Amino acid sequence: FTPSANYNGSVSIPYVITDGTATATANELISVSPANDAPVAVDDNYTVAEEGTVTLTPLSLDTDTDGDTLSITSINGTA
């Protein structure tokens, strides 16, 4: 069993056994638990005139596959 990327949920796989004369059927139930995927950070670029101002929106292009709320834990830069 190979689930597709980011799959989670339950899958039932039926199977048949035989002794050469009679058969019996059963199911294997596989539960795939979700994993927390890492967020994707995208570089942001801004242009501002000398002595001008700009409002930064550093999370605007970033995403999280799981839909988790993103937050900034550190900023390190100079002007």
Residues 10-68: pLDDT tens digits? 999 999 999 999 999 999 999 999 889 999 999 999 999 999 999 989 899 999 988 99
How would you label 20-44 residue by residue, b for 16+ Cβ within 10 Å and e otherwise?
eeeeeeeeeeeeeeeeeeeeeeeee
Q: pLDDT band for 74, please (50, 70, 90 cuts).
A: confident
Question: How far, in Å, are 28, 49, 52, 65 from residue 34 at the CA level?
Answer: 19, 46, 46, 12
Q: pLDDT band for 78, please (50, 70, 90 cuts).
A: low
Number of neighbouring beta carbons within 10 Å of residue 52: 7
- C-alpha 65/C-alpha 5 separation (Å) is 12
